[in-house]
Amino acid sequence: MSWNHPQVSRDGFTSSYGRFLTERDRAERVDSATLRSMFLPKLTRLGQKALDDQRNFVRNQLQHYGVKFEERLFFGRGTPLMKQVLQDGRCDTVPPHILKLEEELHLERLNTQTLESLDRQPD
């Protein structure tokens, strides 16, 4: 059975299958507490696995948290930058404009669905 799962994208993010993802790498946001445990005080196995599994893990998480940075500060996989951003508290909360965009994209995606397709998608 083929289900219609359209995605809606804007401003570097996508809503697809009820998930809010970065558009380029289709990466979900990791919550702040988990990021801290992965990178502080040192890189853990879970953090290393995330870096290995997702080439742009740090970039994607910084995008989800609205963190702007100078490209010259990003080298390697971005681990030192992620540690600094976490220590500075810049990933403690998701900015309101990103939360608003997440809600808008989710609603836009739902509005593209038929009642029949929504009935088959309990999520």
**pLDDT tens digit sequence for 31-82:** 999 999 999 999 999 999 999 999 999 999 999 999 999 999 999 999 999 9
Question: 94 exposed, middle or buried (CB, 10 Å; 0-12, 13-18, 19+)?
Answer: middle
Q: Where are the domains of the chain?
A: 1-29+105-113, 30-93
Give 122 or 94, the one with higher predicted confidence. 94
Q: Are the C-beta atoms of residues 102 and 15 closer than 8 Å to each other?
A: yes
What's the pTM value of the predicted model, to 2 decimals? 0.86
